[in-house]
């Protein structure tokens, strides 16, 4: 079957939780329309999320000062594991995050730690800033709502583990868990950075859908 924009729109009306009910904020200015290819890819991503049981709402496209944007972004409302501090994120980042949790994080927690992950803490998704917040640097993927920073996990046994304390900590199983999910993130996102990459990432795992193909 050939996916046409009209068919996408019809399916999305039925599939997206809360779809069509989002009201743009009063300061919203409609941006230039996404090109057809970008629009079709975004709609396909919406369908993928709906098919995989991920609940979300589509957000209006936004362009901000200093070149930051949130185009084709969504707000996750239920990804299976409560996750803190996630706001606007591009649909591909959200899709890969959901798959990473389901296919990598939970299996690793079960196999290595003997429990489940019941909560994920993040440093956020969208933030209009330069790479590593350095003056004069190019805009970070966070400035395009195209990244997520993972900082900690709460486990089913009540234990809380953090990247900052666990990456090189005394618990060998926690070290294995964090490195396993970092590697798995690199396989699902375009870029994966952890504490071994540089000083700016000493306390979190950074994943984004940029085009550099980096894993450190």
* 22 domain residue, yes or no: no
State how many domains the chain has: 1
Angle at Cα 69 formed by Cα 66 and Cα 73, nearest 5°?
165
Handedness of CA 171, 175, 181, 184 (dihedral sign): negative
Locate 137 and state its tokens: 């640097």
* 24 domain residue, yes or no: no
What domain range includes position 129? 5-15+31-215
Residues 6+ apart with CB under 8 A from 6: none
Q: What is the pLDDT of residues 131-178, one digit of tens each?
A: 877 777 689 999 999 999 999 999 999 999 999 999 999 999 999 999
Q: What is the pLDDT of residues 47-100, one digit of tens each?
A: 999 999 999 999 999 998 789 999 999 999 999 999 999 999 999 999 999 999
- Please report, rounded to a whole number, the percentage of residues in the chain having pLDDT higher than 90: 72
* 26 domain residue, yes or no: no
User: pTM of the predicted model, to two decimals?
Assistant: 0.82
Q: Which of 38, 215, 67 is nearest to 139 (CA)?
A: 67
Tokens 């975004």 — which residue? 42
């Amino acid at each position: 079957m050939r996916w046409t924009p009209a068919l996408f729109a019809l399916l999305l009306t039925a599939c997206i939780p809360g779809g069509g009910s989002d009201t743009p904020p009063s300061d919203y200015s409609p941006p230039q329309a996404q090109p057809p290819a970008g629009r079709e890819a975004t709609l396909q991503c919406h369908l993928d999320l709906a098919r995989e049981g991920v609940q979300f709402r589509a957000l209006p496209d936004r362009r901000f000062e200093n070149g930051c944007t949130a185009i084709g972004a969504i707000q996750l409302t239920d990804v299976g594991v409560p996750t803190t501090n996630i706001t606007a994120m591009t649909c591909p980042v959200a899709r890969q995050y959901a798959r990473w949790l389901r296919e990598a994080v939970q299996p690793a927690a079960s196999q290595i730690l003997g429990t489940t992950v019941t909560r994920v803490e993040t440093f956020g998704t969208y933030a209009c800033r330069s790479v590593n917040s350095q003056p004069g640097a190019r805009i970070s993927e966070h400035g395009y709502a195209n990244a997520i920073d993972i900082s900690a996990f709460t486990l089913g046994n009540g234990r809380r583990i953090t990247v900052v304390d666990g990456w090189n900590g005394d618990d060998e199983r926690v070290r294995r868990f964090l490195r396993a999910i970092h590697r798995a993130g690199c396989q699902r996102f375009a870029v994966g950075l952890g504490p071994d990459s540089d000083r700016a990432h000493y306390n979190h795992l950074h994943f984004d859908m940029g085009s550099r193909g980096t894993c450190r």
